């Protein structure tokens, strides 16, 4: 009898404990479910705030001859069907101990962009990273070839991927070649849904950029008759070009608002100031940092913080310098050039202001960090070069190039010998 009572008591106690345990588990699951729903709501809110671009459907054409021809939406015959939708990820802007994220550099023309490219190339070279590179171009540039998923086999594969295994041509770490801005295409190449992709670009004061591109790409030769009397006088030649019809400017990438064209806006839309401002606002949302040529060192300090790099990672020598020429242009002509490139001026003024806002947000250590960088820049590179030399480049143009000093350090070699670095990068990826 006693044994039966004892057994019954034990069973009652076990039943009571089981009930308590199930109650705790139930309420814990309800709390976790509430937390999960809250977290999902946050992610959905963030996702809805990020514009999802349409998958570009682009015609496999050659060099773009007009702005409409470079617009992916206007040239659609082939679609890469399996473009993964990027997951929502956080870009950590605070303190960090290691470099983070992939870098998509929208490389503009005649803005000092080659100097920035060498910085990115050197970083990726030392870290053994994969680069977006056109296989059939000596330096990997797309230039104004229309980006196309149907031509993705013309890229070098990422490191570790077999050539022509184009389904795995994704997860590239760095893009630093000329490439007209196409967010969906770049996200498909570089995004893996986990690793952040940082988009950066660089802008130059529009008058100086226009004059530099005008001379370097010989715009007058392309647009003026051979018997033009203004050839040889840079100001007279510019004025003659500025007097041409609007249709000529729309058809030539370097004759009108070239920087905004590089950043994805169609030429005809640039006639509408409201459209220009909307496009600039879109760029502000999509591009993490717009560097300014005239404030290059300040821009690099901001880049260093954004990517959690070291000072050595942003060391540089100026690249693609053109031999000094008499470029004296009257203030009247300068005003005409600025009005002619009105859309570029709107964009430049906007992002010049945002640069200084970022400097202000950086905090009180900015001036000290800038001074540290400039001192290191002088100290680390003072024995790297043995003068300069003028060399012929594409289209018969001349550039001033640095000569590597004898017994220079490894860091000097990687800073000075930019084309050697590019060759190694391309060989790593099958070039």
What span, in angstroms and rounded, lies between the C-alpha atoms of 376 and 382?
10
Residue-by-residue DSSP string for 112-128? SHHHHHHHHHHHHHHHT
Q: Which residue has the higher pLDDT, 38 or 428?
A: 428
Phi, psi of 202 (to 5 degrees): -140, 140
Assess contact for 103 and 200: CB atoms under 8 A.
yes
End-to-end CA distance of the chain: 90
Beta bridge partners of 107: 178
Torsion of CA 73, 74, 78, 84, to 10 degrees: -10
The pLDDT confidence band at residue 49, using thresholds 50, 70 and 90, is very low
Nearby residues of 70 by Cβ (< 8 Å), 6 or more positions away:
64, 144, 146, 180, 261, 266
Tell me the pTM: 0.75
The pLDDT confidence band at residue 365, using thresholds 50, 70 and 90, is very high
Rounded to the nearest integer, the mean pLDDT of the chain is 78
Assess contact for 390 and 400: CB atoms under 8 A.
yes
**Vertex 114 angle, CA 418 and 353, to 5°:** 145
Q: What local confidence, expressed as pLDDT, does residue 251 receive? A: 85
What span, in angstroms and rounded, lies between the C-alpha atoms of 99 and 415?
19
Give residue-wise pLDDT tens across range 329-357: 999 999 999 999 999 999 999 999 999 99
Report, as an integer, the average pLDDT of 54-66: 32
Which of 192, 233, 225, 407 lies closest to 325 in space, CA to CA? 233
Give residue-wise pLDDT tens across range 268-307: 999 999 999 999 999 999 999 999 999 999 999 999 999 9
- Count the alpha carbons within 13 Å of 143 in the hemisphere toward its beta carbon: 14
Assess contact for 233 and 321: CB atoms under 8 A.
no
Give residue-wise pLDDT tens across range 158-202: 999 999 899 999 999 999 988 889 898 899 999 888 889 999 999
Looking only at the bridges linking them, the beta strands covering 197-203 and 102-106 are parallel
Q: What local confidence, expressed as pLDDT, does residue 30 receive? A: 38
Report, as an integer, the average pLDDT of 4-22: 53
Report, as an integer, the average pLDDT of 358-380: 94
- pLDDT value at 67 more than 60: no
Could you tell me what percentage of the chain is helix, strand and coil, using 3-state DSSP and rounding each to the nearest 5? 55, 10, 35
What span, in angstroms and rounded, lies between the C-alpha atoms of 116 and 155?
22
For residue 347, give the 3-state DSSP assignment. Answer: helix
Which pair of tokens denotes residue 94?
Answer: 């605070």
């Amino acid at each position: 009898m006693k044994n039966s009572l004892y057994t019954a008591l034990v069973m009652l106690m076990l039943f009571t404990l089981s009930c308590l345990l199930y109650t705790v588990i139930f309420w814990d699951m309800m709390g976790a479910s509430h937390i999960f729903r809250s977290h999902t709501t946050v992610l959905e809110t963030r996702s809805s705030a990020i514009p999802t671009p349409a998958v570009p459907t682009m015609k496999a054409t050659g060099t773009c001859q007009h702005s409409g021809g470079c617009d992916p939406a206007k040239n659609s015959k082939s679609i890469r069907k399996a473009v993964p939708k990027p997951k929502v990820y956080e870009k950590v802007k605070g303190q960090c101990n290691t470099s983070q994220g992939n870098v998509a550099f929208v490389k503009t023309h005649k803005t000092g962009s080659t100097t920035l490219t060498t910085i990115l190339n050197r970083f990726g070279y030392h870290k053994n990273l994969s680069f977006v590179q056109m296989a059939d171009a000596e330096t990997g540039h797309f230039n104004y070839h229309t980006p196309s998923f149907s031509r993705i086999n013309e890229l070098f594969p990422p490191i570790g991927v077999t050539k022509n295994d184009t389904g795995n041509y994704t997860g590239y770490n760095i893009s630093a070649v000329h490439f007209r801005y196409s967010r969906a295409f770049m996200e498909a190449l570089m995004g893996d849904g986990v690793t952040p992709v940082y988009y950066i670009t660089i802008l130059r004061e529009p008058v100086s950029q226009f004059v530099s591109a005008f001379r370097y790409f010989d715009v007058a030769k392309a647009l003026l008759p051979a018997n033009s009397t203004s050839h040889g006088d840079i100001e007279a030649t510019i004025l003659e070009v500025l007097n041409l019809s609007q249709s000529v400017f729309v058809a030539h990438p370097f004759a009108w608002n070239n920087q905004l064209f590089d950043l994805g806006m169609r030429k005809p839309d640039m006639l509408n100031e409201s459209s220009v401002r909307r496009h600039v606002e879109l760029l502000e949302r999509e591009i993490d940092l717009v560097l300014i040529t005239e404030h290059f060192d300040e821009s690099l300090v901001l880049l260093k913080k954004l990517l959690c790099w070291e000072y050595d990672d942003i060391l540089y020598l100026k690249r693609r310098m053109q031999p000094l020429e008499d470029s004296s242009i009257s203030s009247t002509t300068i005003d005409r050039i600025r009005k002619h490139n009105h859309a570029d001026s709107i964009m430049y003024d906007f992002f010049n202001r945002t640069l200084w806002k970022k400097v202000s947000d950086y905090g009180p250590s900015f001036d000290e960090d800038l001074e540290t960088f400039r001192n290191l820049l002088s100290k680390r590179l003072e024995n790297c070069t043995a003068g300069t030399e003028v060399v012929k480049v594409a289209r018969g143009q001349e550039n001033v190039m640095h000569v590597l000093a004898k017994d220079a350090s490894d860091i000097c070699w990687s800073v000075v010998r930019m084309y050697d670095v590019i060759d190694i990068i391309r060989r790593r990826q099958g070039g």
